[in-house]
Amino acid sequence: MHNLAELPASPLLNEMRLDGFAFAPADTMRPLLASSGGLSDWSDFAESWNQLAPDQYLAAKGRARRRRHATFSAAAHGVVTTEPHQPHFQSLQYNALQGDIERWFEPITEAVVHGETLRSILDFCHAFFGSLAPTVARWHIEVHQFRIEATASAAGEPTPEGSHRDGVDYVLVLLVNRRNIASGTTTIHAPDGRLLGDFTLTHPLDAALIHDPSVFHGVTPVLPLVADEPAFRDVLVVTFRAAPAADR
């Protein structure tokens, strides 16, 4: 695992400890990910968002969201390991729209799972979040590819559940691409609703890092800039949660 104190992550670690969140622009994230392995397959990685499957759990509500999902695990001083495909589950406490149900999404493709870019992202998260929580023995890790689509008649809703927590320990939201959209501003709130910060992920590799128990987060709806052209926001979301003792 990298010594993050020697990398540009050190100020981010301090922000996370102090504020519970940090915004990392692409110029900061790129060398961090490069030091974790590299981004040689970035073009194929980004292109894979064109093969995401519709989110059937939101279809009835008319919100256009496409996604794929994968699960991993890692011991504190071990490597990140792929786990068998499994459902995504959140309690109603954390997701009032779709809580307390097992949601099965199409798996992230093998090419993406084993590609250099995703492995670099996961290795960075492992080192970064592990530095913030050195007593965690093993991590349960989930990865989500999201595409939020917008049309002239319907805004795209990156977080249809509103300002929320995910019920994990740490979250990375990494922008992969955005096309023909306005807004999509990430907002960070205190548990009492006070706005603590906001920023818009605009360039590929712009990232939000969040300590989920400390703050709530949300994203404002996206609207097309040109009404009759495709409009979407592509992000990768990675969550780290301390694994229950029974899973270690």
- C-alpha distances out from residue 63 to 55, 57, 100, 227, Å: 9, 10, 20, 17
Q: How many Cβ atoms sit within 10 Å of the Cβ of residue 71?
A: 18
- C-alpha closest to that of 36 among 4, 5, 82: 4
**pLDDT tens for the 248 residues of the chain, in order:** 455 544 557 899 999 999 999 999 999 999 999 988 999 999 999 999 999 988 776 654 445 788 999 999 999 999 999 999 988 655 454 444 554 476 788 999 999 999 999 999 999 999 999 999 999 999 999 999 999 999 888 888 876 677 888 889 999 999 999 999 999 999 999 999 999 999 999 999 999 999 999 999 999 999 999 999 999 999 999 999 999 876 65
pLDDT of residue 10: 83
Reduce the DSSP state of residue 193 to 3 states and report it: coil
Give the DSSP letter string of 68-87. EEEEEEEETTS-EEE-----
- Report the C-alpha gap between 64 and 190 in whole angstroms: 28
- Considering the entire predicted model, what is its pTM? 0.89
Cα-only R_g, the chain: 17
Asked whether 99 and 92 are in contact (CB, 8 A), the reply is yes
CATH numbers and ranges of domains, the chain? 4-247 (2.60.120.620)
Q: Look up tokens 């939000």; give the residue.
A: 208
Pairing of strands 21-24, 138-149: unpaired
What letter does residue 168 receive in the DSSP assignment?
Answer: S
